[in-house]
Amino acid sequence: MRRLVLALFLVATPLFAHHGKDFLFVESYEVPHPHTFFGVTSEQYLLREHAFREELSVLTGLSDRFAVEVHAHLEKGSGLQAIAPAVHVHLFDNAALHGAISAEYEIGRHGEGNNATTRLILGRMIGEGAVVANIGATRSHEEGTNGIYAIGYRSDLESARGWGIEAQGDLQRDAEHEIVGAAYLQLGERLTLKLGAGAIVGNGSPQKVLRSGFVWRF
């Protein structure tokens, strides 16, 4: 009887929403199921500068391999800085590797220029967890084209509790790199919480950084 009740519960209310937002800032190779909608947040707080940055977005799956997203980028004291539509395309799966691409066009406000970013996303399962790497480029009128990277490990993609480590930065000399340890928590059927703490290093003295993120399935 207990197994029957559990099976009926899982069929009626799936615990783990499929959204592809598995990390704090590393892009995942998965996309949401078609016709599902998610509200996504990403927060960064720099302790030394007391700077707070917020990213709010709405994400939806259009097909098994294609999703679209619209971001709003905000900063403490400055308000809305940019609007950025984005697309995510799942490319392939095999026993050893998963692949996807994403592209984003950031439309700046308050005199800020526009930026275009593309990423190749590759992931490999390791037991119940995964390593995911992003490699790409961002282009702006002011700074030209710069290479970027992000890489992350998450211990378990399906459990309600997991931990991981993530890093990102520019592929150029004297660039800054952000490295955080993270915890990933599934809080019920619809809500995912992600928390991280670490440092930004590589240009001057290290700066402590806090990260958070929420994913809510409508």
Q: pLDDT tens across 43-88, in order? A: 999 999 999 999 999 999 999 999 999 999 999 988 999 999 999 9
Domain presence at residue 9: no
Q: What is the mean pLDDT of residues 86-115?
A: 92
98 domain-assigned: yes
Indicate the pLDDT class of residue 5, thresholds 50, 70 and 90.
Answer: very low
Q: Which domain holds residue 38?
A: 18-217
Q: Which residue would you say has higher pLDDT here, 211 or 7?
A: 211
pLDDT of residue 142: 78
Q: What integer pLDDT is reported at residue 136 of this predicted model?
A: 98
Provide the pLDDT for residue 17: 55
Q: The CATH number of the domain where 203 resides is what?
A: 2.40.160.40
Work out the average pLDDT over 96-104. Answer: 96
HEC readout, 7-73: HHHHHHCCCCCCCCCCCCCCCCCCCCCECCEEEEEEEEEECCCCEEEEEEEEEEECCCCEEEEEEEE
Q: What is the pLDDT of residue 144?
A: 86
| Residue 35 region by backbone torsions, left for phi larger than 0, else alpha for psi between -120 and 50, else beta | left
In a domain, 154, yes or no: yes
pTM comes to 0.89
**3 state DSSP class of 160:** coil
Q: What is the mean pLDDT of residues 106-123?
A: 91
- If one counts the domains in the chain, the total is 1
Instruction: List, for residues 121-168, the tens digit of each pLDDT value.
Output: 999 999 999 999 999 999 987 778 999 999 999 999 988 999 999 999
Is 13 domain-assigned? no
Instruction: Return the amino acid letter for 8.
Output: L
Find the helix or strand (DSSP H, E) in which 5 lies: helix 2-12
Reduce the DSSP state of residue 128 to 3 states and report it: coil
Please tell me the predicted confidence (pLDDT) of residue 160.
92
Residue 102 lies in a domain: yes
Q: Tens digit of pLDDT for each residue in 185-208?
A: 999 889 999 999 999 999 888 999
Q: Is the pLDDT of residue 11 over 80?
A: no
Predicted local distance difference test score (pLDDT) of residue 141: 77
Residue 103 lies in a domain: yes
Given the structure tokens 């940055």, which residue do they identify?
A: 53
β 115-126/129-140 pair status = antiparallel
Partners of 54 in the β-ladder: 43, 74
Please give the C-alpha separations between residue 59 and each of 80, 104, 114, 127, 130, in angstroms, as whole numbers. Answer: 19, 13, 21, 28, 22
Tell me the CA distances in angstroms from 12 to 5, 7, 9, 125, 189, one per residue in order.
Answer: 11, 9, 5, 28, 11
